[in-house]
Amino acid sequence: MRLNLIGKPAIIMDDGTLVRVPGHQPWAVLARLVLADRPLARRQIAGELFSDADDPLGALRWCLAALRKALGPRTLRGDPIDLNLPEGTVVDVRSIDRAGFDLDEPAEFLQGVEPSSGAEFSTWLLVAREQIAGRLHQHLRRAAVEALARGNADLAMHQAERAIRLSPLDESGHILLVKALAMAGKSDAALAHIGATEAQFEAAVGERPSRALRLAARKTVGDPPKGISETAIIDSLVKSGTAAVSAGAVDAGLDCLRQASAKAEAIGDHYLIARTFLELGSALVHAIRGFDDEGSIMLRHAADIAVEAGCSGIAAAALRELGYVEALAGRRPAADIHLKHAFDHADNDDDALAGIHAMMGFNFVDWGQHHLGLSHFEKAIDRARSCGNQRREIWALGIGGWGQLRAGRADIAEDWLTRCTAMCDDMRWLAFRPWPQALLVEARLRQGRVENSAAATLDASLALSVQLGDPCWEAATARAKALLHEDRGELGDASDWLVHARSRLCSVTDLYAALLIEILSDELRLFRKRRKTDEASLTARELVVLAARTHADAYLEDAVTLLHGPN
């Protein structure tokens, strides 16, 4: 049989027969059991769903009997309740992340089911709906990116349109649809969709989407000079493009890399195609904000071509960067898939493995799996030292320091971040320095000490972040300033700095989801300290939704508790 819990819930037999289940409560019970990671006690479910009933356990027994009539007499027995679905049963919510998953129309989890229940189950349902909506959007986005990378514009349009229907105000789906329309030669339709989307965003949120949407329809063409081989031209364009991007001339660098990619495709050299698309995708992801979706398409194309051509190093790098994009946005299962595939192509190369381990640590720490994430960071640091790649070591120490703080190890975090800052100075990597500087203040505050120069250091870091045009670094530094004010008892100033941090971080679409979670958590704590109960309640709900969507498991339970706990 097939058990559908996305959209209007249904049980469908092999022959297409629809099995009736009366009422909303049985579906609620079934959904709770299906999504649980272990069998649940009857008293727990009865308390969540039937706390107002005269006989909660009796009400649960009635629901279980109705479900057994539909699913089979051997299901839903015992205490804790054993689901024991018939062999071969396909459950849609358990299949989202599997290859070949498809859905006729994206819809809400348990659509139309609103059981009479207590606050605990209502919150669980809110979280479950957000998590599944996030997984569905992630699946559709990945399918659209893969279709674009393979040149299948029609399939990409179909998947992007479905992603938009699921999350109309998520810019990512619109960018992918515009790219698909442009690929299909439907430039008028692409421009029409851009206009309609800009109007929709202005009406709904008061501002237009980022320029990445309008630029998604752009095509770059370059004609080669006479008497020079195409391979030499492409190599020159790649080197010029990457150098320009590194020097801060991002638009000029991207134009060179786009020309290189177009020329590589024109001559059909798989190695050059993979190489140019890797460089272009990486530049779009790291050098310019708001272009992660276009970058993902390039990286997906690079990975696919590289695997076919046996270019394992390029494949590993492209898959690593795809994992970074997904982890940054909080799409953790998708990031995990990309990074595991990257390991398959790393060929025991220390440099490649250092990068992949660092990204695995990045993903797992923000997933709440601190021990596993930190073990990957330690491996990344060791591998980076073995191959002498100081930039990889700096990145692993800096982001790993964030992980040590999240795991409650402020002393180790301080050590890592101090080393990271010193290495940034030695290499003159100023563009990364604001991050460890901001986190060092937090690490020292957590240990009950902070230097007198902390405020001046943060002011300098904030000025550098603004000059670099990096909203993430601005937000991290503003958050550190808020923590410093909070430590001094200046709660109003602390709240103001958190508002600024949140505003800067949310000024781009490809924001760092885990940092936004931290800022919301800090805001909630300050609202409770200041006895602002309405603001605390609204922030707690926002935190629950975001934590559910981005798999921030370490925060979800606390946020749910605070949502209904005393303020």
CA 475 – CA 513 distance, rounded (Å): 12
Domain spans of the chain? 2-117, 151-215, 220-347, 430-567
Give me the pLDDT at residue 224, please.
44
pLDDT of residue 22: 87
In the prediction, which pLDDT does 220 show? Answer: 40
- Whether 437 and 421 have beta carbons less than 8 Å apart is answered as yes
Give CA 123 to chain center in angstroms.
22
d(CA 50, CA 187): 55
At position 523, the amino acid (one-letter code) is E
Q: How far apart are CA 476 and CA 107, in angstroms?
A: 35
Q: How far apart are the first and last CA of the chain?
A: 46
Q: Which amino acid is at 298?
A: M
CA distance 80 to 85: 15
Peptide bond connecting 9 to the previous residue in cis, omega within 30 degrees of 0: no
Domain 430-567: give its CATH code: 1.25.40.10
Q: What residue type is assigned to position 332 of the chain? A: R
The pLDDT, as a whole number, for residue 225 is 40
Structure tokens at 330: 């909080």
How far apart (Å, rounded) are the C-alpha atoms in residues 350 and 353?
5
What are residue 77's DSSP bridge partners? 82
Phi-psi region of 115 (alpha: psi -120 to 50; beta: other; left: phi over 0): beta
| Fold category of 220-347 in CATH | 1.25.40
Measured CA to CA, the distance from residue 160 to residue 61 in angstroms comes to 43
Eight-state DSSP code of residue 6: B
Q: pLDDT value at position 223?
A: 42
CA angle, residues 506, 507, 509, in degrees to nearest 5: 75
Question: For each of the chain's 567 residues, which pLDDT tens digit applies?
Answer: 899 999 999 999 988 889 988 889 999 999 999 999 899 999 999 988 888 888 989 999 999 999 999 999 999 999 999 999 999 899 999 988 787 787 767 788 989 888 887 778 888 898 899 889 988 998 999 999 999 988 899 999 999 999 998 889 889 999 999 999 998 988 889 989 998 998 998 888 888 888 888 888 864 434 444 345 788 888 888 888 888 777 667 788 888 898 899 889 888 999 999 999 999 999 999 887 778 898 999 999 999 999 999 999 999 999 999 999 999 999 999 999 999 999 999 988 999 999 999 999 999 999 999 999 999 999 999 999 999 999 999 999 999 999 999 999 999 999 999 999 999 999 888 889 999 999 999 999 999 988 888 999 999 999 998 888 889 999 999 999 999 999 999 999 999 999 999 999 998 888 999 999 999 999 999 999 999 988 988 998 899 999 999 998 778 777 777 766 544
Q: At what angle do helices 553-564 and 533-549 cross, to 10 degrees?
A: 150
544: CB partners within 8 A, 6+ apart: 123, 126, 127, 130, 556, 559, 560, 563
Q: Which residues contact 459 (CB under 8 A, 6 or more apart)?
A: none
Domains 2-117 and 430-567 share a fold: no
Cα dist from 31 to 37, 145, 456, 525, 564, whole Å: 12, 31, 53, 32, 22
CATH class given for the domain over 2-117? mainly alpha
